[in-house]
């Protein structure tokens, strides 16, 4: 059995021959990604694909796009979209674990081909945006270096340049649990505080599923690097004589790749993880913050740019000539400064949901401030895990030099956020290409209020200390900017900024940007009104008076009365006033979205406080109701 087809390196005849050699590969799926990050599964019989190969590769499959997330582009009155295969990336074969051929009893396979979305002859999906960004960045970097003898000397590059590559790597974190296990928030919090789980040996079904996932990724050409337990969760518990129950957080990493291939890898890896862990009887969630009060799941993005010169030597564009003297090359400083300077315009592609903002909470290693870390000195690399953007470097290995963007989560659209990062790096490198590392370092290292040419005056951009403990919240907001707290706020901040760098070289179009913003805005409201508020109501209704079955103190009565008053304020209308939830829903109807955002924050804060009040009240009850 083969597990992938390396399409870029094969001819049409070789591809067809390989497909035919796998008699159990019965279907082909054209998989593409809309602007909401949702991927399609347009499945056709493999016979149809082979017999009409040229037509499929040229024209793809026409389909209805009114139900995918392309608002303002593929509307119900103009819904036709075309899904066109991409031959420049690997095609994976997805084998079923429970569906087999009749004669040989082999797992039935589906050839998954990453594809592009077209509407009215124009590319409109997430993959096409990243493809344009990658091509533009690689072309611009080539031109900058070819035009500058200083950059050629700094990077030790001999012309002509053979290749430029924008590389990306993502980390996949997720929570896994047995279907019957119930979470104990306090136990999870204590376990995290004591660091009981990080890098601990997995046991039972989690171990088996993790190892099977790493094996599957290896077969699919991912080159997995590690899989381990993360900081969240509690230890596996033995129930009965031979069954473990689990509530654990896992991370899996694999090797970097060309940006578009890496984004495809991340998308398909989620399916692999979900299927394999389910096969072992485990539930998986990729939510950014599935449990309040404990670690959320991030998906850090690592970016770098390399050049292959006339000698076939590979050079890292970010690495300086002298690793002991400088942190970065001029282009490296420019790329870093570009991301920092434009992060408020990148952020909607990162923090695009209510779940994303639930994770971005001070104190949980999730970044809330636009600030970077370089390390204590060029000769002593370090990692500050409280910042947004970290420089990772090895003084003995220039090729390892890269930036780690720590804000993304699994729900972030890796295609669009990587494209936005590429556009920002281009803008920064164009500023830096004729400058020296020393003057760029001075600008990046500026203090708040200090004038700068490229970066903003009233911002500080570098910190090598813990920004949660060494700065107050007021200091953080002053020095690094106030972070958005809701989807509405992240969109409003985006619109207040100058975003020309995104459209400067047609990486994004105005139509794509507006469609995306409309998509996350609509999803924000739909989830808030259809899931979050109903869930709050359910949680409130589960709070009951507990002190009626035992002699109680006046303290119990006082505490319960305070809890009940808060419950009424949140969800019960009276003849004198509407409750908080009703006011929020009315604001949605009236399209007063600034008020909706404000009331959402108030509701979340009050629900958190209500749970805390009830926890204190409950701990004082001796005879709890069964």
Residue range 60-118, pLDDT digits in tens: 998 887 777 888 898 888 889 999 999 999 999 999 988 999 888 999 999 999 999 99
Q: How confident is the model at residue 180, as a pLDDT?
A: 64
Question: For every residue of 303-350, which 3-state class applies, written as one string?
Answer: EEEEEECCCCCEEECCCCCCCCCCCCCHHHHHHHHHHHHCHHHHHHHC
Same fold, 4-123 and 130-507: no
Tell which residue, 298, 227, 286, 221, has the closest CA to residue 257.
221
Q: How confident is the model at residue 327, as a pLDDT?
A: 96
Q: How confident is the model at residue 188, as a pLDDT?
A: 47
Topology of the domain comprising 4-123: Ubiquitin-like (UB roll) (3.10.20)
Average pLDDT over residues 486-511: 95
Average pLDDT over residues 153-180: 93
Check if the beta carbon of residue 167 is closer than 8 Å to that of residue 239: no
Question: Beta strand 397-405 with 301-308: parallel, antiparallel or unpaired?
Answer: antiparallel
Q: How confident is the model at residue 184, as a pLDDT?
A: 53
Cα-based angle 375, 484, 602 (whole degrees, multiple of 5): 130
Length of the chain as a residue count: 626
Q: What is the torsional sign of CA 352, 357, 362, 366?
A: negative
Q: How confident is the model at residue 195, as a pLDDT?
A: 53
pLDDT for 402-458, tens place per residue? 999 999 999 999 999 999 999 999 999 999 999 999 999 999 999 999 999 999 999
Q: How confident is the model at residue 574, as a pLDDT?
A: 93
Domain parsing of the chain, residue ranges: 4-123, 130-507, 522-619
Taking 90 as the threshold, does the pLDDT of residue 245 lie above it? no
Q: How confident is the model at residue 563, as a pLDDT?
A: 98
Find where tokens 């009315």 sit: 586
pLDDT for 457-488, tens place per residue? 999 999 999 998 999 999 999 999 999 999 99
Q: Residue 247 — very low, low, confident or very high, per pLDDT cuts 50/70/90?
A: confident
Average pLDDT over residues 531-557: 90
pLDDT, the chain, mean = 91
Q: Where are the alpha helices (DSSP H) in 433-553?
A: 437-444, 473-480, 487-496, 500-503, 510-527, 533-541
Instruction: Give the N- to C-terminal CA distance of the chain in Å, as an integer.
Output: 54
Indicate the DSSP class of residue 161: P
Average pLDDT over residues 12-18: 97
Q: How confident is the model at residue 471, as a pLDDT?
A: 93
Cβ-based neighbour number of residue 37 at 10 Å = 23
- Of 46-50, 190-194, 478-482, the least confident: 190-194
Taking 80 as the threshold, does the pLDDT of residue 192 lie above it? no
pLDDT for 561-595, tens place per residue? 999 999 999 999 999 999 999 999 999 999 999 99
Q: Coil, strand or helix: which one is 616?
A: helix
* Residue 197 burial (10 A CB sphere; 0-12, 13-18, 19+): buried
The CATH architecture assigned to 130-507 reads: 2-Layer Sandwich (3.30)
**Pair of tokens at residue 280:** 């072992």
Taking 60 as the threshold, does the pLDDT of residue 304 lie above it? yes
Helix axes 330-341, 414-432, angle to 10 degrees: 130
| Integer Cα distance of 169 and 616 in angstroms | 44
Q: How confident is the model at residue 63, as a pLDDT?
A: 86
Taking 50 as the threshold, does the pLDDT of residue 194 lie above it? no
Indicate the DSSP class of residue 180: T
């Amino acid at each position: 059995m083969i597990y992938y087809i390396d399409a870029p390196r094969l001819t049409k005849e070789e591809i067809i021959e390989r497909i035919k050699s796998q008699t159990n590969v019965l279907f082909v799926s054209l998989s593409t990604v809309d602007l909401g990050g949702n991927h399609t599964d347009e499945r056709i019989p493999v016979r149809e694909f082979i017999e009409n190969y040229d037509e499929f590769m040229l024209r793809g499959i026409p389909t209805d796009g009114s139900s995918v997330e392309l608002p303002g582009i593929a509307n119900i009155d103009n819904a036709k979209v075309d899904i066109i295969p991409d031959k420049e990336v690997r095609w994976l074969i997805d084998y079923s674990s429970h569906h087999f051929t009749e004669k040989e009893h082999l797992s039935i396979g589906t050839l998954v081909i990453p594809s592009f979305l077209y509407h009215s002859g124009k590319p409109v999906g997430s993959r096409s945006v990243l493809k344009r960004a990658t091509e533009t960045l690689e072309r611009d970097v080539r031109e900058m270096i070819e035009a500058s003898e200083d950059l050629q000397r700094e990077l030790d590059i001999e012309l002509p340049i053979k290749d430029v590559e924008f590389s990306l790597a993502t980390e996949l974190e997720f929570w896994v649990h047995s279907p019957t296990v119930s979470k104990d928030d306090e136990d999870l919090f204590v376990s995290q505080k004591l660091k009981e789980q990080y890098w601990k040996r997995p046991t039972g079904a989690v171990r088996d599923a993790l190892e099977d996932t790493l094996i599957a990724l290896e077969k699919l050409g991912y080159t997995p690097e590690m899989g381990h337990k993360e900081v969240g969760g509690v230890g596996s518990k033995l129930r009965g004589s031979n069954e473990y129950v689990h509530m654990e957080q896992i991370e899996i990493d694999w090797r970097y790749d060309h940006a578009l291939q890496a984004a495809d890898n991340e998308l398909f890896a989620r399916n692999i993880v979900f299927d394999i862990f389910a096969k072992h009887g485990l539930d998986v969630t990729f939510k950014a913050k599935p449990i309040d009060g404990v670690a959320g799941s991030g998906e850090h993005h690592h970016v770098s740019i390399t050049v292959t010169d006339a000698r076939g030597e590979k050079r890292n564009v970010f690495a300086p000539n002298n690793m002991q003297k400088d942190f970065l090359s001029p282009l490296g400083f420019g790329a870093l400064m570009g991301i920092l300077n434009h992060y408020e315009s990148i952020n909607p592609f990162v923090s695009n949901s209510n779940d994303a903002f639930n994770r971005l909470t001070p104190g949980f290693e999730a970044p809330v401030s636009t600030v970077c870390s370089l390390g204590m000195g060029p000769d002593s690399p370090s990692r500050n895990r409280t910042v947004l953007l970290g420089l990772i470097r090895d003084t003995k290995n220039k090729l390892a030099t890269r930036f780690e963007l720590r804000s993304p989560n699994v729900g972030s659209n890796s295609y669009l956020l990587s494209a936005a990062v590429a556009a920002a790096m281009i803008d920064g490198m164009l500023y830096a290409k004729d400058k020296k590392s020393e003057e760029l370092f001075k600008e990046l290292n500026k203090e708040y209020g200090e004038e700068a040419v490229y970066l903003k005056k009233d911002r500080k951009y570098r910190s090598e200390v813990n920004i949660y403990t060494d700065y107050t919240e007021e200091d953080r907001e002053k020095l690094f900017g106030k972070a958005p707290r809701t989807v509405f706020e992240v969109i409003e901040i985006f619109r207040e900024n100058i975003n020309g760098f995104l459209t400067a070289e047609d990486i994004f179009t105005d139509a794509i940007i507006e469609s995306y913003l409309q998509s996350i805005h609509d999803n924000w409201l739909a989830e808030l009104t259809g899931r979050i508020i109903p869930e709050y109501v359910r949680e409130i209704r589960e709070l009951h008076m507990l002190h009626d079955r035992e002699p109680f103190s006046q303290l119990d009565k006082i505490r319960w009365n305070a809890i009940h008053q808060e419950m009424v304020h949140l969800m019960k209308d009276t003849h004198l006033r509407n409750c908080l939830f009703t006011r929020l829903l009315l604001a949605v109807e009236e399209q007063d979205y600034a008020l909706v955002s404000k009331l959402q924050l108030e509701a979340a804060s009050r629900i958190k406080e209500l749970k805390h009040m009830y926890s204190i009240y409950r701990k004082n009850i001796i005879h709890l109701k069964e």
